[in-house]
Amino acid sequence: MEFAANVTFSALVQQILVGLSRTTILFIVSSGLSLVLGVLRIPNVAHGSLYMIGAFLTYTVSNLFGHTLAGFFIALLIAPLGVALISFLVERCLFCHLYEREHLMLLLFTFAFTLVFGDMVKLIWGSDYRSLTVPAFLQGSFSIQGFPFPRYNLFLLIVGPLVALGLWLLTNHTKIGKIARAAAVDREMVGAVGINVSWVFAAVFVIGCYLAGLGGALVAPTQNITQGMDHSIIIEAFLIVIIGGLGNIWGALLGALIFGLTDSIGILIWPQFAIVFPYVAVVVVLFFRPRGILKSTW
């Protein structure tokens, strides 16, 4: 238990790599949350539930194809789209009538959805633990200077930057991205110039929820797919969004990096008290930057 007893250079590199792959999941989920927060101003507590549904859908679709490599990638494609479809229906039928309400109302409303989605998952999939097998190609691990590094984590390290790139292209180089950014700053003005804000909001909400589903799909093979996985992620995602700056996607990236890396390095340096490291990091950040590291859209 001595402080930093086992820290060697190669162990540290290893922990950073593992931490970065965790960061990928955290970034994907919290960027979606941040997008919805920034543009729609909805603190979507049900974001974690959509992440859970994404994981369950991945499990089901992947099993339909019988654990083949193609089946797994089809599941990675379909499951987040399924989540996006659910969120589209929810947005068009319910949320779009509530944008003018105060945040507390919206918070309660999305909280109600966590309960509804939670029970829905219980009805459909039951309470047994589920475990998804990755295709043989992604099983096992590489050895980096004597330490194992799971192949699947390497896959996550590739996916993470791709998603970040996609988000950057979307927000900076597409019309809808530009409108969304404008709407985040001043939604009345965007409406006043003749843009149908309602449909922009719907699109952004669906993209944000798609990211929750994608996070759930990517995490499915490494986790126990079970009820309750929504609670743990939503707390972390909100913390990340808050330290990054509400509504700022790149803030979510920074926040995820801080959270993921302090977690994995803390585990190496002081394993007995590792749990507190990311939370201490959050406190330190908020102490110096109470409104988050990057500019908040709120």
Partner 1 sequence: MKKAIWFSLALVLVFSPMVNSAQAAKAIKIGIVDCYSGPPATYTNDVRDAFKLEVDKINATGGILGRKIDFTTRDSKFKVDIGLSAAKELIYRENVDILMGTINSALALAISDLVKKEKIPFFATFSKSAKITGEKGHRYVFSITENTALAGKAGAAGLAKRPFKKYWIAGDDYEYGHALADGVWTNLKQLRPDVELLGQSWWKVGEPDFTPYITAILSAKPDAVIIATGGRDCVPFLKAAKATGFNERVPFFMHTATELSTLKPLGLDGPEGVIGTSNYFFYFPESDANKQFVADFKKAYNREPAVGAVYGLLTAKFIAQAYQKAGKVNTNAFINAVEDLTVDSPIGTVTMRACDHQATLPMFMGVTKKVAGYDFLTATDIVTIPGSEVMPSCEEIAASRK
Per CB under 8 A, residues contacting partner 1 are: 1-2, 5-8, 11, 14-15, 18-19, 21-22, 25, 122, 127-131, 133, 139-141, 147-153, 219, 221-224, 226-229, 231-233, 263-264, 267-268, 271-275
Q: Which residues, in sequence order, are CB contacts of 244 under 8 Å at separation 6+? A: 30, 34, 250, 251, 252, 253, 254, 255, 256, 292, 293, 294
The residue (of 200 and 240) whose beta carbon lies closer to partner 1 is 240
The residue (of 150 and 191) whose beta carbon lies closer to partner 1 is 150
- Smallest gap from Cβ 142 to partner 1, in A, equals 10
Q: Which residues, in sequence order, are CB contacts of 96 under 8 Å at separation 6+? A: 198, 201, 202
CA distance 235 to 219: 16
- Smallest gap from Cβ 147 to partner 1, in A, equals 6
The amino acid at residue 111 is F
Q: Which of 48, 205, 52, 63 is nearest to 132 (CA)?
A: 63
The residue (of 42 and 217) whose beta carbon lies closer to partner 1 is 217
CA distance 236 to 85: 25
The residue (of 141 and 172) whose beta carbon lies closer to partner 1 is 141
- Smallest gap from Cβ 181 to partner 1, in A, equals 31
The residue (of 22 and 181) whose beta carbon lies closer to partner 1 is 22
**Strand bridging mode 147-150 / 141-144:** antiparallel
The amino acid at residue 29 is V
Place of tokens 């302090």: 262
The residue (of 24 and 296) whose beta carbon lies closer to partner 1 is 24
- Smallest gap from Cβ 66 to partner 1, in A, equals 12
Place of tokens 């972390």: 236
The residue (of 41 and 151) whose beta carbon lies closer to partner 1 is 151
**DSSP secondary structure letters along 207-224:** HHHHHHHHHHHHHGGGS-
- Smallest gap from Cβ 240 to partner 1, in A, equals 13
- Smallest gap from Cβ 130 to partner 1, in A, equals 6
Query: What are 182's two structure tokens?
Result: 């404008």
- Smallest gap from Cβ 10 to partner 1, in A, equals 8
Length of the chain equals 298
In degrees and rounded to multiples of 5, residue 295 shows phi and psi of -65, 130
